[in-house]
Structure 1
Amino acid sequence: MRRDTDASTPGDSGVRTRYPRFRLGDPRSADAAPPPRASARFPDTAPTVGRDAPPAGGAPRTPPRRPGAPGETPAETTARLRPVPAETEPEPERETVARPEPTPSSGPADRPAVPAAPDPAFSWSSPIDTRPRVSFGEPEGYDAQARPRPLGGRPRPQAVAAAVCLVLGVGLLTGAVTGSWLAGDTGDDGARSAYTEAGNLWHSVPVDQLFPPTVQGKGAGPGGADRTWTRVAVAPDGDCAGAFDRLLAKVLDPVGCSRLLRATYTDATQSYVTTVGLLFTKADAAAMTALADRFEKERLGRRDDLLPLPYAAKDTVAAGFGAPQRASWTVSVLTDAPVVVYAVSGWADGRPVDEPEPAEEAIESGAASAPAQAGLGHEAQGLADRVERALRKNVGAPTEHPS
């Protein structure tokens, strides 16, 4: 192999190496070159932009300075702060998706996995309640002007008016109760007074008001026909001796007999005669109610052995009206007055009746008995009803004339 040789120098061994040696003072020597300036490695000042940028030659351009002005000092530069995001409300709970593992080609190699922080919404001790909240709207109604308003809310004027009415109503009620208590007047006393007054009508009311001379019965006849009854005789008032059959008198005995009033009527054709009576009893309201219940439950008003007796007046069309001529009857026990109202009817020509029929059955549609076909059931029932109405009209108005 050939070696590169050079001129020998003092102190050489005469052998040259491949790379030359640099001596001190030699421009090619590394030790002879001084170190580069600091500005050659890094700039002494921060770079500037715009019109303060250095010219193309590399020397910085300084603005002209007025004579006598102090020299400028280097301006202090501060790095710009990074903005901090504002604190936001915690986002609602949402489903989390596992992040795929990074591949060697998609990110830094072998970066340690950072465990995700636990969601505070799933912690029992979480101070923040992130569960969804639901609120229901208040129902809405409408006021008097058809304007919407919440239900249950009442305008203040209406509430005040309602309160005032309540106070006034309570005051009036309390005053009425107190006045009745101080005066000793109650509802029971009023009913008792009317009951007692009705029991005294037999001697305080004229007979023409209890038994009018003429009684109009509109729609009282068969098929709704009008009827007219004319009074032919009035029996003297007295006790009940001999006025009823023995069995009926026994049934009426528990209520007693204070007074008995009777009158006999005939129809417009004088074909039928009817005796109507008012038995004023001595019983109180409880006894009258018990007797009425017995008549209803035992159907005593339909038994043909409990017929009332007629009043046959001489020298009238009812002169031959006796017990054998009784064809139909009705008995009504009042509970609001100590009175028993009854009526019995028959033919005016005195013909006897073998099978009398109660008026309640004789007035039914389709009844085929002789009294029913003749309308005697309507005669007894219609006249008894109108005499009872006249009696009730005279309670509290003794001078009133019934129609």
Structure 2
Amino acid sequence: MPPMPPAYRPTAAPYAVPPGPRPRYTPPSPHATLPPEVQRRVARGRAVAGVCLVVGMGLLIGAAAGYSIGGYPASAQPAAQSTTAAYAVTHDLWHNVPVDTLFPPTVNGPGAGPGGADRTWTRVGVAPDSDCDGAFDPALAKTLAPVGCRRLVRATYTDSTSSDVTTVGLLITRADPAGMARLSAAWRAQHLGQDAELMPRPVAFPGTDSTGFGLAQRASWQVDILNELPAVVYAVSGFADSRTVTDPQPAAAATIQGATSAPAQAGLGYDARGLTIAIEQRLVAATRAALHESSAGAAR
């Protein structure tokens, strides 16, 4: 795990995944013929038992969910503070924390490679923060347009063998929770993450392994729409030798065991997926830390 930047001072409890919203199911009552007072007591008893069961299951699920890259839990959920507060913090987070907090010089991915192999990525460059003009192919730009673009920050990494390069981006949107939920639902329902026309664009840095990383070199990608934060996190990977790729595959397909495409054989799907998850985790951690500091400041 890379050393924590000095400006990042987590003081909250470990980042356990909080249980999400759970639907309530009320079965038909078998006590319909009992006196009203008895029915009320039965209902109260069931309510208490149901709450205990749901909370217990939520804790178990939260403890087991996800896997970790770089020491952060694989969850896109902020801390228990209100969604409104989390959105407010995240909207300005891109310029309130050091670049190393969101895009560290080195990212370690234990078990994040093919067959559970460890993966390590080294940063070769960070692009200046920008708006989203020209940052995405037209189809992806149109799809993301409803949530707006507050700011875009991007960095490019190379793997430990200097044979693969990956650009990872963090789009801070202008959307409210309802807007992010609509985009997320549409993205999943229409399987937009599998559409090659919705591949993100890379960022190349001259004089590094990514020098020749252009549109024709894109090999695998992943785009994650966060529900709990106003953010879209994505990554797109390719070969460091500038070769053209004719059969790009989304990370979900390129990480299936037995996949035979060039991106799958080279592990480029694992690079795109691993770095997307890693940057998501750092965004969540930074948001939680900022929320905690804000709460602590208000308490003082």
Shared fold (TM-score, shorter chain, > 0.5): yes
1:202 aligns with 2:94: yes
Match of 1:308 among 193, 200, 207: 200
**Hey, which of these two has a bigger chunk of helix by percent?**
2
* Aligned residues of 2:168 and 2:276 also touching (Cα < 8 A): yes
- Using the aligned pairs only, state the percent identity: 57
1:396 to partner: Cα distance: 3.3
Question: Structure 2: how far apart are the matches of 1:383 and 1:324?
Answer: 21
Cα displacement string for residues 233-278 of structure 1 (whole angstroms, at most 9, x for unaligned residues): 0000010011001111001000000000000000111000000000
* Aligned residues of 1:205 and 1:399 also touching (Cα < 8 A): no
Equivalent in the alignment of 1:264: 156
1:332 aligns with 2:209: no
1:189 to partner: Cα distance: 7.5
Structure having the higher Rg:
1
1:191 to partner: Cα distance: 2.4
Question: Structure 2: how far apart are the matches of 1:346 and 1:304?
Answer: 14
* Aligned residues of 2:85 and 2:291 also touching (Cα < 8 A): no
* Aligned residues of 1:204 and 1:398 also touching (Cα < 8 A): no
Cα displacement string for residues 55-97 of structure 1 (whole angstroms, at most 9, x for unaligned residues): xxxxxxxxxxxxxxxxxxxxxxxxxxxxxxxxxxxxxxxxxxx
Cα displacement string for residues 129-183 of structure 1 (whole angstroms, at most 9, x for unaligned residues): xxxxxxxxxxxxxxxxxxxxxxxxxxxxxxxxxxxxxxxxxxxxxxxxxxxxxxx
1:370 to partner: Cα distance: 1.0
1:342 aligns with 2:234: yes
1:192 to partner: Cα distance: 1.1
Match of 2:140 among 243, 248, 267: 248
Secondary structure at 1:290 match in 2: helix
Letter in 1 for 2:260: A
1:351 aligns with 2:243: yes
Secondary structure at 2:216 match in 1: helix
Secondary structure at 1:248 match in 2: helix
Higher relative CO (Cα under 8 Å, sequence separation at least 6) belongs to 2
1:224 aligns with 2:122: no
Secondary structure at 2:82 match in 1: helix
Equivalent in the alignment of 2:283: 391
1:355 to partner: Cα distance: 1.2
Match of 2:179 among 262, 278, 287: 287
Equivalent in the alignment of 1:64: none
Match of 2:273 among 363, 378, 381: 381
1:188 to partner: Cα distance: 10
Letter in 1 for 2:130: G
1:279 to partner: Cα distance: 0.3
* Gap change, CA 1:399 and 1:281, over 3 Å in 2: closer
Question: Structure 1: how far apart are the matches of 2:219 and 2:169?
Answer: 16
Q: How does 1:93-104 map to 2 (within 5 A)?
A: none
Question: Structure 1: how far apart are the matches of 2:290 and 2:130?
Answer: 21
Q: How does 1:176-215 map to 2 (within 5 A)?
A: 190-215=82-107
* Aligned residues of 1:214 and 1:228 also touching (Cα < 8 A): yes
Question: Structure 1: how far apart are the matches of 2:288 and 2:181?
Answer: 22
Q: How does 1:3-402 map to 2 (within 5 A)?
A: 190-398=82-290
1:196 to partner: Cα distance: 1.5
**TM-score (norm: length of structure 1):** 0.52
Could you tell me which runs of 5 or more consecutive residues in structure 2 were left unpaired when the two chains were aligned. Answer: 1-78, 293-300
* Gap change, CA 1:200 and 1:368, over 3 Å in 2: same
Could you tell me which runs of 5 or more consecutive residues in structure 1 were left unpaired when the two chains were aligned. Answer: 1-186
How many residue pairs get aligned? The number is: 214
Question: Structure 2: how far apart are the matches of 1:398 and 1:289?
Answer: 23
